[in-house]
A = this chain, B = another copy of it.
């Protein structure tokens, strides 16, 4: 039986009030300003409870730690590969992909997670040319 708790409400409210996808640690920092002695364990526990309820979604982008999102309507994300920022993408979900995937494997496909990788405008501005590492003969040999 899930019971009301001020802490859980605050966590949900924080997530609903942001367009970001904060990590557990970020949620903790945010809640602490209004509830100074909440514990990190409580944040983790409630994120798990809320995710279990389907009130929030856990998302995970490449190389990143777990992030949370109060927008549980199925939607896509994109991440800047330079600064690592993750954002919602206001575009329609291609549900037809699920059927296509199901044709290609032996499973009942229910949904999909899609994250685009790119470079955001501000990072693109000062992006440095990719280093063109000189490859040594030896390396080429075994790297073939």
Question: Does A105 sit at the interface, judged by CB under 8 A?
Answer: yes
Question: Does A73 sit at the interface, judged by CB under 8 A?
Answer: no
Minimum Cβ distance to chain B for residue A72 (Å): 13
Are A109 and B117 neighbours in the complex by a CB distance under 8 Å? yes
Are A118 and B109 neighbours in the complex by a CB distance under 8 Å? yes
Q: Once bound together, how far apart are the Cα atoms of A74 and B117, in whole Å?
A: 13
Of the candidate stretches A15-23, A29-37, A39-47, A87-95, the one touching chain B is A87-95
Minimum Cβ distance to chain B for residue A137 (Å): 11
Contact among B60, B81, B107, B141 for A78, CB-based, below 8 A: B107
A-B contact pairs, 5 of them (CB 8 A): A4-B142, A106-B121, A107-B120, A107-B121, A114-B115
